[in-house]
Structure 1
Amino acid sequence: MIERIIKSSLESFNLNIPGTAYYDPQLGSLAQYYKEQLNSKYWVAVNKQNEVVGGVGITSLGQERGICELQKLYITPEAQGKGLAKDLMKVALEFAKEHYTHCYLETLKKLQTANLLYIKLGFQQLDRPLNGSEHNATDAWFLKDLSN
């Protein structure tokens, strides 16, 4: 279900292109993927009908010590605008604080609403991606110090 949400969201922005999460090989098995990674986790949100309406993940950023990556934050259109992305991020960041000193994320400038949320939650915009980035189609990168 989360794979469909991720792909539909990317399609809605014409971002079903190489270099985005659209082509990540683990999309069909996110639960297994995050379970196999050290200090990693993926959360899903469900509505009152017990339908999956969004999700977010935390995992280490390649070989960067102490840095995790907030990944695959996607919400269905019906569930957007209700604070769900913010709630998911807060849960993910609390988990991240237990294992990492910084949290990185990559996105696109055209996703303005998401970028404003990241800034509101204390992320600082970077000029370039950190080493270990898998998505070369992104053009906006953020980092949050988890110690404060």
Structure 2
Amino acid sequence: MHYRLLEPNDNSILAEIIRENLKSHNLDIPGTVYFDDNLNHLSDFYLASPKRAYFIVLDDDNNIIGGIGLAELDFMDDTAELQKLYLTNAAKGHGLSYKLIELVEDTGINKGYKQMYLETHTNLKTAIHVYEKCGYKLIERPKEVVHSSMNRFYLKELS
């Protein structure tokens, strides 16, 4: 596995990977990123601020097989949100998620964040297992979360 920062040419491939994952877990519903117009232009969002980053994961042939991002969270001080950790089916089951979470947490620390927040859904059982194994603790739904079909919320102190 190797990775690099998201580039505009990656947008359509990444959007396809994300939508395929959501659909396969019956999350191609309103209130998820599946219907987010910005999904087709993620580089616009992640390249707009030095407090954000999105990493593309590449296989040995330089094909995009997934990604992970982080961005500032407006409603919690010194907190980044872990965003859009998705892999192709062929890339799953090899421990990549753990490496990507470590990468994004290290990036968050380097950007000055003290904790990492994430939202997920009970349909994503494997993701929940990975997050909990990485030390994320289940928290109550923050009152600031609106228009979201996500129903599991996690927080982790970064050190």
TM-score range, shorter chain: over 0.9
SS at match of 1:115: helix
Give the TM-score of the pair, scaled to structure 2: 0.86
Aligned residues with identical type, % of pairs: 35
- Which residue in 1 is equivalent to 2:45? 33
- Which residue in 2 is equivalent to 1:146? 158
Contact between 1:101 and 1:146, CA under 8 Å: does it hold in 2?
Answer: yes
Instruction: Summarize deviations over 1:100-130 as a string: whole Å, max 9, x none.
Output: 1111000011211111111111110112136
Equivalent of 2:128, from 106, 109, 115?
A: 115
Measured on the aligned residues, the alpha-carbon RMSD in Å equals: 1.4
Equivalent of 1:79, from 75, 87, 91?
A: 91
Equivalent of 1:64, from 63, 66, 76?
A: 76
SS at match of 2:47: helix
- Which residue in 1 is equivalent to 2:142? 129
Q: Distance in 2 between matches of 1:129 and 1:52?
A: 33
**Consecutive unaligned residues in structure 2, runs of 5 or more:** 1-12
Q: 1:63 to 1:126 in 2, by over 3 A?
A: closer
Q: 1:51 to 1:81 in 2, by over 3 A?
A: same
Give the TM-score of the pair, scaled to structure 1: 0.92
Q: Tell me by how many angstroms 1:92 deviates.
A: 0.5
Q: Tell me by how many angstroms 1:135 deviates.
A: 5.4
